[in-house]
Amino acid sequence: MSSGGNDCQRVAQFALSPSSALKIQKGDITQWFVDGSSDAIVNPANEKMLGGGGADGAIHRAAGPELREACFNVPEVRPGVRCPTGEARITPGFKLPASHVIHTVGPIYDVDSNPEASLKSAYRNSLRVAKENNIQYIAFPAISCGVYRYPLDEAATVAISSVKEFANDLKEVWCYLNVHLLFPAMVVQNHFILQRESCVFTSCNSVFSICSFILLPH
């Protein structure tokens, strides 16, 4: 499995169930994979599904032009819209190391009338699509936390509460983050939402590390 270079020592792991784990790591989601057959990365797409900026553009570039063609062939639900906000679609991963891409559209925080509900739908529907397609390992980026300006702590809470609902359906759920401040936000929210004793840091094995991730510059 790809470990994102030096970030491999910054993995926080939480037990979701006896058979499922939530892992949080900083790194490049386009390089993530587990087995190349039952794994998927989540693409924070726009409603057209034809590529854009940020992680969306990076995923399209890494996957190659076949991904855009596959997205173009997804039926429109209305003119110019293939995946409405909060919904999810799946395609092959093509040149990506992960076997599939699950495309979802997060809310624009200051525009959406109920951004929490829309973000929760984006996570839930991505996980539902994963389950329906026998995906065992899934990696999420920080949906809506870039140009869509979703507050980091709030986004972390929504992500974790949504993932908990699918605790028995996947072997591993990853939050693979390139947003600098979201890593400590995710870790702290997990610490309080999930059981404290279920947290293991691969680099230091100490709950004290939660504070150090926040207080020390990275």
What are the tens digits of pLDDT across the range 171-203? 999 988 875 555 566 666 655 555 543 444 443
Amino acid symbol at 82: R
Q: Residue 54 is encoded by which pair of tokens?
A: 């940020």
CB 13 within 8 A of CB 78: no
Cα 192 from chain centre: 20
pLDDT of residue 208: 32
- Taking residue 25's Cβ as centre, other Cβ atoms within 10 Å add up to 24
Count of domains for the chain: 1
Establish if 107 belongs to a structural domain: yes
pLDDT of residue 160: 87
56 is catalytic: yes
CB 41 within 8 A of CB 30: yes
- pLDDT 10s digits, 52-110: 999 999 999 999 999 999 999 999 999 999 999 999 999 999 999 999 999 999 999 99
pLDDT of residue 152: 84
Q: Residue 15 is encoded by which pair of tokens?
A: 């037990």
* Most confident among 25-34, 37-46, 151-160, 209-218 (mean pLDDT): 37-46
Establish if 106 belongs to a structural domain: yes
CB 52 within 8 A of CB 105: no
Establish if 9 belongs to a structural domain: no
- pLDDT 10s digits, 121-137: 999 999 999 999 999 99
pLDDT of residue 177: 80
Is residue 5 pLDDT above 80, yes or no?
Answer: no
For residue 74, the domain's CATH number is: 3.40.220.10
pLDDT of residue 189: 60
Residue 16 confidence class, pLDDT cut points 50, 70, 90:
confident
Establish if 186 belongs to a structural domain: no
Q: What is the mean pLDDT of residues 18-23?
A: 91
Is residue 7 pLDDT above 60, yes or no?
Answer: no
Establish if 150 belongs to a structural domain: yes
Establish if 131 belongs to a structural domain: yes
Establish if 191 belongs to a structural domain: no
Catalytic residue, from 56, 110, 112, 153: name it: 56
Q: Give residue 162's domain range.
A: 15-180
Establish if 203 belongs to a structural domain: no
Residues 6+ apart with CB under 8 A from 123: 104, 140, 143, 158, 159, 162, 163
Is residue 156 pLDDT above 60, yes or no?
Answer: yes
Least confident of 26-30, 166-170, 177-181: 177-181
- pLDDT 10s digits, 31-61: 999 999 999 999 999 999 999 999 999 999 9
